[in-house]
Amino acid sequence: MLWACVLLPQLALDAVLRRRPDPDAPLALVGGPAQLRTLHAVNAAAAQAGLRAGMRLTAAHALLPDFATVDYDPQAETRAQRFLAAWAYRHSSLVSAQWPGCLVLEVRASFRLLGPWPRIEARLREELGLLGFQHRLALAPTPRAAHVFAGLRDGLAVMQPAAMAELLDRVPVRRARLPDDTGERLHRMGIRDLRTLRGLPRDGLRRRFGLPLLEHLDRLHGQADDPLAYYAPPDHFDARVELGYEVESHMALLFPLRRLVGDLCTCLSIRDGGVQRFVLRLEHEEGHTDVDVGLLAAEREPAMLFELTRHRLERVRIDRPVVGVRLLARELPPFVPAARDLFDTRPQQQLPWPQLRERLRARLGDDAVHRVAPAGDPRPERAWRRVQGDGGRIAQAPARPPRPAWLLPQPVPLRDPHPRIVSGPERLESGWWDGDDARRDYYVLETSQGQRAWAFAPPGEQGGWMLHGWFA
């Protein structure tokens, strides 16, 4: 295995800068208690003015009166690292964000897909640059060695274990990322590099520095297994956009909605999943309004999901100002793309039926689109049923005398006073088992307008016609 390490020297700062419209203006991250505010990190422009990390805020103001300050938030740093882990998951299936401020990913398995290391390296650098994160990259046969090398020199790539061992021997102990302050203590004892350290007797080292040091050394050289906590993409999606102002119209919600749906689809394509049901939560000052979006099949097309959600959103009345929008998808089922024939000559803009169905349902209501299927009951009003969704074979109806193509939802009195009887009667006596007893004589009638009616009368009578269908 070959491990690449992406070291992020100023993760917290980059996470803030990439959201600002003017990243070149002087800016500092400020942390610490209210009485003792200190700079946590500064950007290039602030550093040029003499600001340094660790400086008091008052001292910094004395040096540079006008610079932007942002509160340092360790949570934001973790979030940014998780975001980058999701990004790295595109390039490798084994990604670990276990160590703070860096990512390690296994790249040998990706060589066949993405090309040799120089090409992957260029790709990683380009994408990180676009995302706006400062980075240092290194490659080594073990993850810990890659981590150490990334700290030593940007772009260092070692593929052979022998060469790695040789390089590691020359690494100063203070830069070898030894546990706790072991590196510093060893340095003061006069042990300058790893070669000397490895020459020392192991049991003595263990007694003096504890087991973690030996474990670290073994894992560094690949002599012991290095169990890493691998990144797994979350099995749900939850993103929120704070609006920062009060919104009372649908139009103003469309932009954040588009961004949320775009993020959702990125997440889905990374997971190779789809979404079938999600909630758009409009947050008010107090309480929230939920907009449920349900589909009959899993989808992940951003334009389609956006359009659907928009239709659902437009049907919701916004009676209170909205201050935030949140998109929650708890289940991300596998996505099965619709199979299309390569030589199918259909129009360019053709929309597959499932997508059209979702569009119709979004506007007309969830139950608007259905199919009909015959059922076994002899009573005409129960001899059919609605079928929602895909799949399922439709059974054959039992053989019966001719039935009309149109059925009235409720039998109504026939308005024609003197219909002509074409055929009949067909006696129906059924339903005694569920209390909805039906005793009718069905006739085919012709009305004066030329319509063929299917009507019934009480048994033995030929009058008081109740219309139940049309032979259209």
Binding site for other proteins (CB under 8 A): 346-347, 349-353, 355-357, 359-360, 363-365, 367-375, 380, 383-385, 392-394, 396-397, 400, 402-409, 449-453, 469-472
Interatomic CA distance for residues 10 and 367, integer angstroms: 53
User: At 236, which helix (H) or strand (E)?
Assistant: none
- For other proteins, the closer of residues 186 and 308 by Cβ is 308
- Which two three-digit tokens encode residue 347? 């129009």
Bridge partners, residue 240, by sequence: 326
Residue 296 beta carbon to other proteins: minimum distance, rounded to whole angstroms: 12
Could you tell me which of 358, 308, 319 has the C-alpha nearest to residue 338?
358
For the bound state, the minimum distance from the C-beta of residue 337 to other proteins, rounded and expressed in Å, comes to 16
Query: What does 258-306 look like in DSSP terms, one character per residue?
Result: HHHHHHHHHHHHHHTB-EEEEEEEEE-SSSEEEEEEEEEEEE--HHHHH
CB of 301 to other proteins, least distance (A): 14
- The pairing of strands 384-387 and 275-283 is unpaired
Q: How far is the CB of 468 from other proteins (least distance, A)?
A: 10
Partners of 413 in beta bridges: 466
CB of 405 to other proteins, least distance (A): 4
Q: Residue 50 or 352: which CB sits closer to other proteins?
A: 352
- For residues 35 and 348, which CB has a smaller minimum distance to other proteins in the complex? 348
| 55 versus 375: smaller Cβ distance to other proteins | 375
Distance CA(250)–CA(391), nearest Å, equals 36
In the bound state with other proteins, the residue whose beta carbon lies nearer, of 222 and 411, is 411
Residue 249: both structure tokens together: 């119209």
* 439: CB partners within 8 A, 6+ apart: 428, 429, 458, 459
441's tokens: 């004589």
Q: Give the shortest CB-446-to-other proteins separation in angstroms.
A: 9
Are 313 and 253 within 8 A, CB to CB? yes
Q: Which lies closer to other proteins via its Cβ, residue 1 or residue 405?
A: 405
In terms of CB distance, is 37 or 403 closer to other proteins?
Answer: 403
Give which of 166, 162, 160, 135 is closest to 150, Cα–Cα.
135
- For other proteins, the closer of residues 279 and 438 by Cβ is 438
Q: Where are the beta strands (DSSP E) in 108-209?
A: 136-140, 156-157
Tell the smallest beta-carbon distance from residue 402 to other proteins (Å): 7
Question: Cβ(380)–Cβ(411) under 8 Å?
Answer: no
Q: Nearest approach, Cβ of 452 to other proteins (angstroms)?
A: 7
Q: Rounded to whole angstroms, how far apart are CA atoms 168 and 220? A: 8
- Token pair belonging to 428: 């129906």
Rounded-to-integer distance, Cα 128 and Cα 345, Å: 42
Q: Which residue has the tokens 């090409």?
A: 119
- Read off the DSSP letter of residue 390: S
Q: Which is nearer to other proteins, 179 or 365 (CB)?
A: 365
Q: How far apart are CA 227 and CA 206, in angstroms?
A: 21
If DSSP codes are grouped into helix, strand and coil, which group holds residue 426?
strand
Q: Specify the residue, 74 or 392, whose C-beta has the smaller distance to other proteins.
A: 392
Query: Minimum distance between the CB of residue 360 and other proteins, rounded to whole angstroms?
Result: 6
Q: What is the DSSP letter of 388?
A: -
Tell me whether residue 350 or residue 462 sits nearer to other proteins (CB atom): 350
